[in-house]
Amino acid sequence: MTAPLSCIIGLSGERLSKSESVFLRDANPWGVILFSRNVKDRLQLKRLTRDIRDAMGRNTLIFVDQEGGRVQRLKDPNWRKYPSGDQYASIYRRDKIIGRRVCFLGHRLIADDLRAVGITSDCAPVLDLPQPGADPIISDRALGADVAGIVDMAHAAMAGLMAGGVAPVVKHIPGHGRATVDSHKALPKIDADRQTLENSDFLPFRMLSDAPMAMTAHAVYTHNSRTAVTISRRSLVELIRAAIGYDGLLMSDDLDMKALTGDLTRKTQRALNAGCDIALQCSGRLADSVKVAKGSQALSGRALGRAFVAENCAEHVSGFDRIAAEAEFDELLRQFST
């Protein structure tokens, strides 16, 4: 079988169009990412993920952003609301053991939700360390503002996801917490010196460097480069692979974000040439997906090996009593809501 292309693409709506089906079959991107526009209810979503895999002829990873809080693509009334990272952190500050337990249970329940409709990877947890004066794009999505707490809860979150057969993607490496602008709208420039970053922002990623997948931050780290880390070979090598020691699968954040400029094919090429293993593009417009496919290449070498490891993280589901877990989760949230 031919190796898949080094990209993840979005889809336009709640059903797979004939053109999208043909594209998935012929282009064979490594994965697909879903958004709220693709989600109606459980039956529809299960049918969509089945059709994606039928079109591709393999058990591809299907991604979603299901952090909880503000970032939750599967919403009520069909799915329960989950706490934000900051809400988990609030419990953790009061009781570390309970904080870890609640974070594990929340993510184990999320995994159960996702797996039931055929989604096998969650772009979570967020490891960014928020800093005073930063843009609110991260804020309450973060697991607090303390490195030790972020690491502790992120371990619990990843364990909950993987126990449910859902591969986690940590984000946004090497750290988005100092950005003073939203990278969806403009290119952040982070002016902190290397030592400061090594002692703060980089730490959560270094301490979770065994995560199977990580998503880049579209930001410039000015002590190292004048180019966004996603498309800077120097930054990817020196900051992420060397300073942080991350050797898992590295995917770009969405190439459509305004932090990056230029043609999608060229942006895809630049991200992959810089050292990203996978280019992520989320618009769901077929013309955009075609441009990304043109800039991609068949996975090979270390990138292919990293992709294989990531896929294996969604292969095994441990035994789970949903009713008991939900009852415990709700009771702990109730106790710590006062």
pLDDT at 338: 64
Chain segment 113-169, per-residue pLDDT in tens: 999 999 999 999 999 999 999 999 999 999 999 999 999 999 999 999 999 999 999
Indicate whether 232 belongs to any domain. Answer: yes
Residue 152 belongs to a domain? yes
In a domain? residue 116: yes
The count of structural domains within the chain is: 1
**pLDDT tens for each residue of 211-228:** 999 999 999 999 999 999
Which residue range(s) make up the domain with 185?
5-20+40-47+76-335
Count CB neighbours of 181 within 10 A.
16
| E strands present in the chain | 5-10, 29-34, 61-64, 66-68, 71-72, 121-122, 167-173, 189-190, 213-216, 220-221, 249-251, 279-281
CA 84 to centroid of chain Cα atoms:
15
**Rounded distance between C-alpha atoms, residue 214 and residue 170, angstroms:** 5
Enzyme catalytic residues: 184, 253
Angstrom distances, CA of residue 134 to CA of 84, 140, 190, 198: 18, 12, 10, 18
Residue 1 has pLDDT above 80, yes or no: no
Over residues 13-72, the pLDDT tens digits come to 999 999 999 999 999 999 999 999 999 999 999 999 999 999 999 999 999 999 999 999
Residue 149 covered by a domain? yes
The CATH number covering residue 9 comes to: 3.20.20.300
The answer to whether residue 26 sits within a structural domain is no
Q: Give the contacts of 17 (CB within 8 A, at least 6 positions apart).
A: 286
Count other C-beta atoms under 10 Å from residue 307's C-beta: 24
Domain assignment present for residue 53? The answer is no
Percent of the chain exceeding pLDDT 70 equals: 99
Is position 122 within any domain? yes
Average model confidence (pLDDT) across the chain: 97
| Residue 57 included in any domain | no
The whole-number average pLDDT for the span 306-324 is 97
